[in-house]
Amino acid sequence: MAEVRSVDTAPPAFLRLAAHPLRWQLLSALADGDQRVRELVARIDQPQNLVSYHLRLLRNAGLVSATRSSYDGRDSYYHLDLDRCAEAFADSGAALHPALRRHAGPPDAPPASPSAGSVAVLFVCTGNGSRSPIAEALLRRRTSGAVTVASAGTRPKPALHPNTVRVLRESFGIDTCGLRPRHLDTLAGRRFDHVITLCDRAREACPEFPDNPRRTHWSIPDPATAEGTDDATYPAFRRTAADVDVRVRHLLPVLAATHRQEDPP
């Protein structure tokens, strides 16, 4: 008589966690960008204590993180770790059958990106000296210039922070010769498909733009506020650049989808 293999009937922890309707709504909402609890409460239309409870479960699982708002210290922004979600989905598939195990491609394989000149993106922070120009440079690099991309500040600095120049050069090989801080007002009237704020203060001050672009918020602390010499604060810039680069990589399929929707075959 053939031996019968025992089967673990319990679904993986990630599936049990994400399958809850309210938690799936929270994951879906945070996939659109970083949000505060009150925004999630309004979007999901559930009591704050219930939303907070399920957010805590997602945080404990490492799927969601929270950072204190630099605009209002009483608020926190919640962020979805898309890389961790991808790993959890892949591990769940492998638990069902080895054939569903994710096969990693080349480490630098580019995600889908839009066609040349098809999508316009604006990155906004307060000083336009670190976070938003880093995002501008990385998106331009990762799309080989196919996306129309700009950055600006609500209160721009006189020049890029020296560590912005250094981290783009040393970590990504990007020359910042053409990057200069500029005021958001200089872009008034320009059309953008996506406006992405990287600063909690800038999110509150960012004006409306023509044609109702998609608004997204990335709550990223300003590395320029770290105390010490440029050498001492450089690790903060490296962490910021790494965070921005992950978010830019996940932005590429969104931009490609924007292009397909606007220019159907």
Structural domains in the chain?
Answer: 13-100 (1.10.10.10), 120-262 (3.40.50.2300)
259 by DSSP, 3-state: which? helix
Q: What is the largest CA-CA distance in the chain?
A: 80
Question: Rounded CA gap, 56 and 192, in Å?
Answer: 35
Look up tokens 């569903």; give the residue: 100
The amino acid present at 119, given as its one-letter code, is V
CB 131 within 8 A of CB 199: yes
Confidence at residue 3, expressed as pLDDT on a 0 to 100 scale: 53
Which residues share a beta bridge with 152?
Answer: 124
- pTM here is 0.86
Using the 8-state DSSP alphabet, how is residue 5 labeled? Answer: P
Element spanning 125, H or E: strand 120-125
For each successive 10 residues of the chain (265 residues), what is the average pLDDT? 57 92 97 96 96 97 95 94 92 82 49 62 97 97 92 97 98 94 93 96 93 95 92 96 96 81 53
Tell me the torsion sign for CA atoms 170, 81, 142, 187: negative
Which residues share a beta bridge with 120?
Answer: 148
